[in-house]
Amino acid sequence: MDVMEAGMGHSLDLIAGELTAITARIVRDDPMVLGRVSDLVAESPRIFTLGAGRSGLALRMTAMRLMHLGLSVHVVGEVTTPAIASGDLLLVASGSGTTSGVVRAAATAVETGARVVAITTDADSPLAHLAGGTTIVVPAAGKLDRSGKASAQYAGSLFEQAVMVIGDALFHALWARRGQDADVLWSRHSNLE
């Protein structure tokens, strides 16, 4: 790595540029899927989120924002998370689309009659097939891709950042659709802190 590339300012510019480029491609490559995803979230009685590692952390952020909208949302794996049921929605993320626990959960959701929304880099992955037409394909490097072709960042960083930005965009679109005042959302923040 060049000394000029080692500075934090350069890194911020690189990350921001990669995120801008990848979100533009997501919108351009399948603009209809984003509308379908926001409709499914808005219509579902309960939303469940699941991802492993950093993808899971990004979806936890999404779950928190959806809770602020007043939606019934649960993070899979928490001790208070109920069983998923028919009509519910499972929002999952896996760069490879093959993360075993995430794929198993998606298969269980489908078996129970719940719907699945997947965020992945691989449109032909088992996870994408379980989600059917509600897969957001992120054209980023997988965590094992060290070629630097899809991203100059380490491992799956760009994918994980995209999951967070997609979650925030989902929240913002639903917030605008609902027309709720920010004070209403703020009232749903924890007062136990």
Q: Give the residue numbers annotated as catalytic, written as ranges.
A: 160
Tokens 């959302």 locate to 185
Distances (CA, A) of 79 to 44, 82, 159, 176: 22, 8, 28, 32
Task: Please measure the distance between the N-terminal and C-terminal CA atoms of the chain and give it in whole angstroms.
Answer: 43
Phi, psi (degrees; rounded to nearest 5) at 119: -120, 120
Tell me, what DSSP letter sits at residue 3? G
